[in-house]
Amino acid sequence: MNKPDVIEKFLKYVKVDTQSDPDSGTSPSTMKQHDLAKILRDELIGIGASDVYYDEEHCYVYASIPSNIDDGKKRYKMGFVAHMDTSDEVSGKDVNPRIVDNYEGSDICLSKDGKVVLSPKDFPELLNHIGEDLIVTDGTTLLGADDKAGVSEIMTMAETLLSNPEIKHGEIKIAFTPDEEIGEGTAYFDIERFGADFAYTVDGGKLGELEYENFNAAGGTVKVHGRSVHPGDAKNKMINAALICYEFHSMLPVFQNPMYTEKREGFFHLTGVNGGTENAEATYIIRDHDEKLFEEKKKLFKEAADYLNKKYGEGTVEVNVKDQYFNMIEKIRPHMHLVDNVKKVMEELGVTPIDSPIRGGTDGASLSYKGLPCPNLCTGGYNYHGKYEYASIQEMRKVVDILLGIVKVYGEDF
């Protein structure tokens, strides 16, 4: 079988800067995401994919791999989706990946000055990769495995299928999206053009992860309007907006914080705060897997502002809470074959399936609520969104095998 190397593609894609920007107000949020979109378009055309379409305005790439089974039986059109952008939290420019061959379990010095070290003391899961080959950063940027690992794996699957017609399969749909990292990955996703009955996002982490539950999510902003008076004459006159902003935060449950939560536990996460005496503003993300607890968190957020307005005067504190996405499990339950078949494929390949609730969201959550049920699959990447990000070469290659296995399963008639 002619099988291209997923790592070659990955090392090429991570060098393309595709960092998204939550503050741009455009779609895509950064024009540089088009650079990778064009590369993927050209590669899809080059390997013989059909219906290749590049949305030049909004930066989506779509393609099809026609069925090579002509027996008149009905088969699902299966889709695979990955996002092209990288997080805005750490630079994705001038990524300089390197490969650590046969990792032995010791510290990995990432930066030239020796100050950025990937250590099992801080990241004990590294010890699970002893004997594997790891792709790491140079300590100055993120790696981009989120989600260029997924992009690479889908592209490798596509090229493998198109260069090996003896692998029988139904019609396969492929899409690459922008702006997933800022929650806008499906804003202009054309489900009709995509044309799949069901799909998988390839945007997870540890090998074996199979995710079909995710947070219910909202974003919250707090704006405080204070009154600045000279501190020497401020008694009973000054209203310190920064201190009230701090007081607001102190009213939220201390241990409902990402630093203290795991699994299905929700949280309030303070993502930014700035201001002074006259004005201050804080931004939050609010998360919970449980719908009831999610609604209670949003209610508490607003009640804290009501209390402070009674204390300091109406209009002192303004809050805005906006829903972002919802738990996809409600849309997956009627189609559990999407989960069961992946587990079957993984087990046949010697991979232990891991039912893992997503402590975040994926394009798949939004797509599921738009009518395209879409669980999330692993990629073999770790420590996303930072300088300590890495990927396992062996795991990435195994993910390609999992994608090919899924394709073969859905090549059967239903």
- Residue 83, annotated as binding a ligand: yes
Alpha helices in 108-202 (DSSP H): 145-163, 191-194
Kindly name the residue from 17, 43, 85, 211 that is annotated as catalytic: 85
Distance CA 281, CA 353 (A): 43
Contacts of 338 (CB under 8 A, 6+ apart): 198, 200, 212, 332, 373, 375
56 labelled ligand-binding: no
Q: What is the rounded CA–CA span in Å between residue 405 and residue 396? A: 14
How far, in Å, CA of 61 to CA of 52, rounded? Answer: 7
Tell whether 181 is in a known binding site: yes
State yes or no: 17 annotated in a binding site: no
Q: How far apart are CA 188 and CA 199, in angstroms?
A: 17
Find the angle CA(180)-CA(186)-CA(189) to the nearest 5 degrees. Answer: 135
Phi then psi dihedrals of residue 383, to 5 deg: 55, 45
In this structure, are residues 357 and 264 in contact, taking their beta carbons and an 8 Å threshold? yes
| Other Cβ atoms within 10 Å of 106 Cβ, number | 11
Active site residue 247: no
Given the residues 43, 88, 159, 180, select the one marked as catalytic.
Answer: 180
Q: Work out the number of other CB atoms within 10 angstroms of the CB of residue 147.
A: 32
- The closest of 100, 107, 108, 93 to 141, measured between CA atoms, is 93
Q: Which two tokens stand for residue 361?
A: 């969201």
Phi (first) and psi of residue 154, to 5 degrees: -65, -45
Q: Is 180 a catalytic residue?
A: yes
Buried b (16+ CB within 10 A) or exposed e, 320-354: ebeebbbbbbebbeebeebbebbbebbeeeebebb
Whats the size of the chain, residue-wise? 414
* Residues tagged active-site: 85, 180
Could you tell me which residues are annotated as the binding site for Zn(2+)? Answer: 83, 146, 181, 203, 385
Could you tell me which residues are annotated as the binding site? Answer: 83, 146, 181, 203, 385
